[in-house]
Structure formats: C-alpha cells, structure tokens
Chains A and B, each alone.
Chain A
C-alpha cells in the first residue's frame, strides 16, 4: 500500500492535468485553480522542510564533531542571526519590536549590513572568479583541432569582438552584424532543436512517472 497509493495519486492527478489543459469547462478550470493553490502551499512547506533539514543536518554534524563541523556552526549562526534581524526592527516611531507581517526587518540596519557587506561580496566574488577560470580554460581547450573546432573558435572570437568598442565604427558595424547573424540564425536554430528535444524528453519522462514506470520520486527506484 505504501507504494500503490502514491502511484495511484500521481496517475489520477497526472492524467487530470493533461486533460484539463484541453478542457475550457468551468469545473475543470475551478479544479485547476484549486490544485494550483496546493502548489503554493507545498512550496511553503518545502521551504520549512528545507530549513528544518539544514538545522537537523548541521546540528547532527556538530554533535558528533564530524569532519568540518566548524562550518556547520557558522551556517547555524548565520541562519539564526539573519532570521533574528529579519523579523526585528524599528518602526516609524522608532520603537523596536518583532515584525512578522511587515518589512521593518528588511530595513533593519543590521540585516542590511549583513546582506550588503557579507552576502553580496561573497556571492559576487565567487561569480567573478569565473573570469579567471574561463581565461585559463579558453587558452587550453579552444584549439583549432579540426574544421568544426575551427568554426566554433572563429564564431566565438567574432561574438567576443562585437563587444569591443576599440575597433571603431566601421569594423564594429560589420562585426556586430556578423555576430547578430551567428546568434539569430545558427545559435537560434541549434537552441530551438535542443529545446524541442528537451520538451519531447520531458513528455516522455512525465508519461513514465504518470504510468508508474519511473518511481525515483519515491526515494527508491
């Protein structure tokens, strides 16, 4: 029964969602909207579950002093600190208090400082490191080994050159035109083909899930 009930529910709701898309009947639309509310509720529960899971895993790591347990202390400290400052703050009259329903917490100076001076620099630094790795990877991998690799190499250089204002108006104009053609014709054609392929793959996978062939979502295959 543990397996049959979820498979039955997935089948019923899956088939209903497929058919309701083609049915403009009022009842069908009402049920669709009702089910959409469930997605929203599940989304909120998923967030709560995620936070609980993070706390549980981190606490367990600290308790048993597992490898790199110090990082879990930082994680929990950051989580609770941001939570605390996110729900506390000063209102318009300068009174400090807890604010669960309004945005006083988001304008709390400590919350802003943690966000602007810790989270923002950390994330931007991580992302900006990409520039170094891209340069190194481009030097090692972008080589004209055969005709296709050469075409890729030349296309990449043209698209990069179009960003370049050093080359003046005339050269820049033709570079821009060629790069626009590369993006709008071959790139778009390839991307469309990939998107259609992904779409068909998703339909196939969805059918496997609805028919109970693919059961990975239940944890065990």
Chain B
C-alpha cells in the first residue's frame, strides 16, 4: 500500500503504470467501438481479457478515490456515533468466504467504530462459516488495534448455532436459552457484556452482515419488528436493491457492497485520526470495481452500436 514513506521513484512508476494501463484499455475499447460500427462482433474471450486488465491494473497500480457517505450509510454511522459508551451492540456474521471480500471490510469497520466508541459488542453468526470470518476480525482488528479490550468485558463471541430463524425466535425472548455459554464455555451469567441483557429486546443496536439466507430479512422479521430493536445491515451489492423497501423504518441504514464499505471506511477515517493508518480494503477495492464498471458500460454501449447498425443494415435491405 502507498503511504508517505513510499519512495518517489516507486510513486512515479505507479503513475506510469496507471497511465499505460488506462491508455491501453481506452485504446482497445475505441478500436472495438470502431469495429462495432463496421458490424464486427466482439468475441467473449476479448471481453474477458478487458475485464481481467481492468481489474488487475488498479490492483497492481493502486488507485484510491475519495468517498463521501450517502444518507443510507451515514445513518448507520450516525447511529453508532450517537449511542452512549457502554451501549450493547450485536454484530452477526451471516456470511461465508464467497461474500467476504465485499462484507468483511464492513464487519471490520463496524468493530473498529464500536470499540473506539466504547460500546460492548456481542459477536454471533447464523452461518457456520461466519465463525471463521469473525476470527479474521479478531486477528486483524481487535488484537492488533485494541489490545486493551478484554474478552467477556468489552466484547464476547457466542459463536454459531444451527437453526436459522429458529435461533432468532428464541433469542428474541431468551438469550441464555440458546447461548448458555460463549465459545470459550464461559457461562452466560459470568459474562460481563451480558449484564442487564435477557433478550435481543435489551440491545441498543443489531447489525447483520451478509446477504444470504438466513440474514438480514430474518433479523427484521423475527427480531427487529417484533422486538422493536433498531437494526442496520451491511450486505453484498447484489442484495442491496432488494432491501431498500425496508429502509428507513425497518432498517435504519444499509451498506451495499464495496461502495457502501468504502463510504463507511472513509467516514471512519475522517472522524477518527487513529484509523488513518489502519487498513482500508474497501477503499482500495473501489479502484478495480470502478474501472471494471466503466469497461462493462463501454461494452454495453458497443453492443448497442452493433445492434443499431445491424438494424439499419436490415432496414436498407
């Protein structure tokens, strides 16, 4: 990653690499556009090659853009920000490694934000693989950045339980019944984080991170609505449009895909200077995603040029 100590030569090489790759992509697309006017189809392997270059180039020559939080993202940030220190926040890791590149940065950013604000976090998961993903937050965020935080006092990991919405149906009325101990077999009653918590109704905020099933819809249906608990979410981009009907009444805010995560990370960095040197994977991923989007849009335009030209030719006949 580039920082203030990166040698000027390396910076210059990165800039040159960026210019060359962008020129290459632009020239290639222009060539395909001219070919489309002449009614020449684009082969699938050419499309794949362009997508590969557009994703690889910003990874090799990092391109970071400035992000500004949109209202749906800002609402989640402001909620965590406005809660008094010591508030109880539940983070549910409802995702697997396939979704992780999009949603793991959100999970890490939520953890950073809650811990820096002094909130007490309860970690759990409705996906069996969520437990492994939490270990990544533990290794990459909690231990290195918040060594002073104590397991059981500042946060607790209660792990995974099978049963999907059945689990939620129980914890809406009784946490202990479903989670008699945390993952370290510490009894519920001796965990400080759980003092004053009997069920999900006693929580100040629930954030489900994921996008699959069981996930945020189940949290809203079985916990948020019946228990009147504020719920927010961070989901993969493909799922986000399906969740807009729940916003803002049933979902106080949502982070959609890498873009949502990048907005949250930029907001966190803007508010807390201690996170200036923390990893911001979503902001880094916005480069490849943006360029890939542009290339896809260019191919849509090329496809339509080809289509219109084809129709014209048929009309002339």
Chain A residues at the B interface, C-beta cutoff of 8 Å: 33, 36-37, 39-40, 42-44, 46-47, 101-103, 106-107, 112, 115-116, 119-120, 122-124, 126-128, 131-132, 134-136, 138-140, 142-145, 153, 156-157, 160-161, 163-166, 176, 180, 183-184, 187-188, 191-192, 195
Contact = CB atoms under 8 A, between A and B. Distances in A.
B176 to A, nearest CB: 13
A187 to B, nearest CB: 6
Contact of A184 (B101, B129, B183, B244): B244
Interface stretch (B83-91, B272-280, B301-309): B301-309
Contact of A160 (B47, B293, B303, B304): B293
Interface in B17-68: 42, 44, 47-48, 50-52, 55, 65-67
Contacts of A161: 297
A138 B241 CA distance: 18
B259 interface: yes
Contact of B300 (A120, A128, A142, A187): A142
Ranked nearest first, the 8 interchain pairs of A and B with the lowest CB-CB distance are A43-B163, A39-B166, A165-B65, A123-B98, A123-B97, A103-B183, A120-B97, A139-B299
B292 interface: yes
Chain B at the A interface: SS class? helix
Interface in B225-272: 241-242, 244-245, 259
Interface of B: 42, 44, 47-48, 50-52, 55, 65-67, 70-71, 96-101, 129, 131-132, 135-136, 157, 159, 161-167, 169-170, 173, 177-178, 181, 183-185, 241-242, 244-245, 259, 286, 289-290, 292-297, 299-300, 302-304, 307-308
Contacts of A37: 170, 177
Contacts of B303: 138-140, 142-143
A186 to B, nearest CB: 11
Chain A at the B interface: SS class? helix
A35 B69 CA distance: 44
A179 to B, nearest CB: 9
B178 A102 contact: no
